[in-house]
C-alpha cells in the first residue's frame, strides 16, 4: 500500500509529520493492505487566522474499485488523522470484513450432507 500525504499551507510539519502519519496509517490499516493500492491523505486547516480547526481527508483506492473517502475534523492534526483512520477502518471492515469472515456452520436452509 502506497501512502501519499499532502498538507495545505495552513499546516506545518514537513517531512517529520509525513513520516509520523505514514507510520500511523500503515499500522492502523495494515490488515487491509492487500485490498488498498494507494492511500491518499489530505491534511488541511481552516483558512481563518487564529482558527484551530484541522481536517483530514483519506482516500483509499482499492484495486479495480471506486475510491472510499472519509473526512474527520478535530482541533489538532493528529486527532483529525486518528479520527479519519478510525472511520476508514470501520468502512473497510464493513466492505471487506464480511467477505473474509463467513460462518462455516450449518443452517436450517442447508443441512449437512453425510455420505
Beta-carbon neighbour count of residue 55 at 10 Å? 20
Predicted model pTM: 0.76
pLDDT given for residue 11 in this prediction: 78
- Residues 6 or more apart whose CB falls under 8 angstroms from that of 95 comprise 68
pLDDT given for residue 94 in this prediction: 85
The pLDDT mean for the chain works out to: 81
Domains located in the chain, CATH noted? 2-98 (3.30.160.100)
Structure confidence at residue 16 as a pLDDT band (50, 70, 90): confident
Encode pLDDT of 59-115 as tens digits: 999 888 899 999 999 888 889 999 999 999 999 888 877 655 555 555 556 555 565
pLDDT given for residue 67 in this prediction: 92
Amino acid at each position: 500500500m502506497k501512502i501519499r500525504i499532502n498538507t495545505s499551507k495552513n499546516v506545518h510539519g514537513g517531512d517529520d509529520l509525513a513520516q509520523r502519519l505514514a507510520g500511523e496509517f500503515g499500522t492502523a490499516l495494515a490488515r487491509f493492505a492487500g485490498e488498498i493500492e494507494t492511500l491518499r491523505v489530505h491534511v488541511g486547516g481552516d483558512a481563518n487566522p487564529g482558527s484551530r480547526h484541522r481536517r483530514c481527508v483519506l482516500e483509499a483506492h482499492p484495486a479495480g474499485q471506486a475510491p472510499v473517502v472519509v473526512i474527520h475534523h478535530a482541533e489538532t492534526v493528529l486527532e483529525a488523522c486518528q479520527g479519519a483512520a478510525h472511520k476508514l477502518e470501520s468502512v473497510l471492515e464493513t466492505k471487506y470484513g464480511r467477505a473474509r469472515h463467513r460462518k462455516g456452520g450449518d443452517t436450517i436452509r442447508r443441512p449437512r450432507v453425510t455420505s
